Amino acid sequence: MNDPASFNTEKRQASEKGYVLRPKYENKFTLRKVQPLLRDALIDELSNVERYDPEKADQLAASVMRAVRKRLKESDMSAYKFVVQCVVFERCGQGVEYGASVLWDSDTDCCARQTFHSDMFTCVVTAFGIFYY
């Protein structure tokens, strides 16, 4: 029953059926991989925005989220589902608290956050990667 050969056979059969319970290390959602994607998306989308317009803040956040989702989907993390949140607000010297609460498998799931500051506004984008079993 506890024969190592039978264990390998069971593992191979589960893999052949498509049951992957853990991603390979190189395909994991890690901060080292995801934060540069977030940073590049923020720079590409926001570096040309010169002033904060409250009427267009939601459109700006939507364009950032689309850019982040596109980059995540093009990455090698195809077994993940992604949730992207973005907040854009004017810089007026106010304090801001931003948080999220999650319930997940800490071995496979993760989140990454990146902030973009300009003289007129701040943008915070958070990407959640949830391994899809």
Q: Measured in whole angstroms, how far is the alpha carbon of residue 35 from the centre of its chain? A: 8
pLDDT in tens, 21-68: 889 999 999 999 999 999 999 999 999 998 999 999 999 999 999 999
Hey, where are the domains in the chain?
Answer: 21-131
Containing 25, the helix (H) or strand (E) segment is none
pLDDT number for residue 93: 86
- What's the pTM? 0.81
Contact indicator for 114, 42 with CB cutoff of 8 Å: yes
Residues 6+ apart with CB under 8 A from 88: 52, 57, 58, 60, 61, 64, 121, 122, 123
Domain 21-131 -> CATH class: alpha beta
